[in-house]
Amino acid sequence: VVNDAHSIVVDAGLSAGPLQFYSTDAAWTADLVGALAPGAEVIAQTSVVDGDNVTDYALIFAIEQGAELAGGATAANRIVGFSIPADQPYDASRMTDEAWAFWAAAVNWLNTPVTPVTPTPAPPGTPAQEVVWDFENGNDHGFTLWSLNPATPAADDPAVAGDEAITGGWEPGNPNNLPEAGVVWTIGPPTQMDGLLPGADPDNARTGANGLLDYSSGTERMTADHSFLNTFNLNYHGDFVHDQKNDQIATSPAVLLYEGAILTASVAASGADHAPALDESGKGYTDGSGGIAVLSADDGSLLASMETEGRNFEDDFVLDLSAFAGQKVIIEVVDAHEGGWGWMAVDEIRITNATVVPGP
């Protein structure tokens, strides 16, 4: 289960993580996640790992009424897709209680009337607007960069990457600083910290012979002359600069969505296990998640999310927000993953047919 924010999963009483669908082994006939209709939300998937290559297959997905289908059509009704078991029937003798809970919740969701949201068109006579957050020249565009566990501020050392006032410094096992607490976000090019001592996880840092950070000494992971919102620059490695209990979250200003809003994020790395999902504790996101989350600006509920697995170099990831026309939303960039590719760097976020809501 990769999307425990969806009402089907909530109604089934399940959470993100492994799901046993059959009491005996079964083969699946499944589609690639990338082959689903644009408006489909993946709820459960299986992944095949081959070295650095990970291929995701959708087993259960949902499409909201009005969401985009292949060819640009829209769904007239809600749709739930269950992948076809190649060698097992759907019967009570083989399906587990969890599987039947999923099935019943899916039927309930299909039969629940959809409350329409009146779309908010762009103001008359105003051309379609686009929100662009490019993070160039250190511009944070009003984002709040924070961590689930704040650090105890320490005096800044100008010879060390980062600001110890928000990182707390590096001392594994100390709950007051990295990796257990503290902010690792920076905004800048991947050469930003050249010539400084690593600000986190020095044992894995990308450094020259002098022990100072040197981006050119390793494989290029992102465009060197672009500025990124990132969890990479403190040591030019990123995998273990924070633990997965210390979520790194970048929160945008509120955005008003018009008809046809589409979000595109250009992201490098982010080897997260699944798309951002709110943690059951009510604090932060589920361990191992990462990518883009879209929250209601009114009540903080999770409206949509996507995993942004841009390994090796930058990739574009697209999230259709047209179903939320007329709503004010907040975008959160989430890194709640540690380990291999446990970092992310956002080159740019664009939202068509949208505008930033002026602050107070």
Q: Determine the residue type at 303.
A: L
Q: Is residue 360's pLDDT more than 70?
A: no
pLDDT of residue 310: 64
pLDDT at 358 over 90: no
Rounded to 5 degrees, φ, ψ at 12 are -80, -10
The Cα–Cα gap between 278 and 289 comes to 9
Per-residue pLDDT tens over the stretch 90-140: 666 788 899 889 999 999 999 988 766 566 666 665 556 899 999 999 999
272 in Cβ contact with 288 (< 8 Å): yes
Number of Cβ atoms within 10 Å of the Cβ of 10: 13
Taking alpha carbons only, the member of 304, 348, 321 closest to residue 263 is 321
CA torsion sign for 354, 357, 358, 359 is: negative
Output 36 or 241, whichever has higher pLDDT: 241
Which residue has better confidence, 245 or 223? 245
Dihedral of alpha carbons 102, 71, 290, 283, sign: negative
Q: Could you tell me the pLDDT band of residue 83, with boundaries at 50, 70 and 90?
A: confident
**What is the per-residue pLDDT across 285-313, written as a single tens digit (0 to 9) for each?**
999 999 999 999 999 999 999 999 866 67
Mean pLDDT within 168-183: 97
Cα 116 from Cα 110, distance rounded (Å)? 15
Domains located in the chain, CATH noted? 7-110 (no CATH), 130-356 (2.60.120.200)
- pLDDT, tens digit, for every residue of 189-220? 999 999 999 999 999 999 999 999 999 999 88
Average pLDDT over residues 237-265: 95
Scan for tokens 């200003």, then name that residue: 253
The pLDDT of residue 321: 95
Residue 117 confidence (pLDDT): 59
Which residues touch 52 (CB under 8 Å, ≥6 apart)? Answer: 311, 312
The whole-angstrom separation of Cα 302 and Cα 284 is 11
Instruction: Write b or e for each residue in 186-195: b if 16 or more Cβ atoms lie within 10 A of its Cβ, otherwise e.
Output: bbbbbebbbe
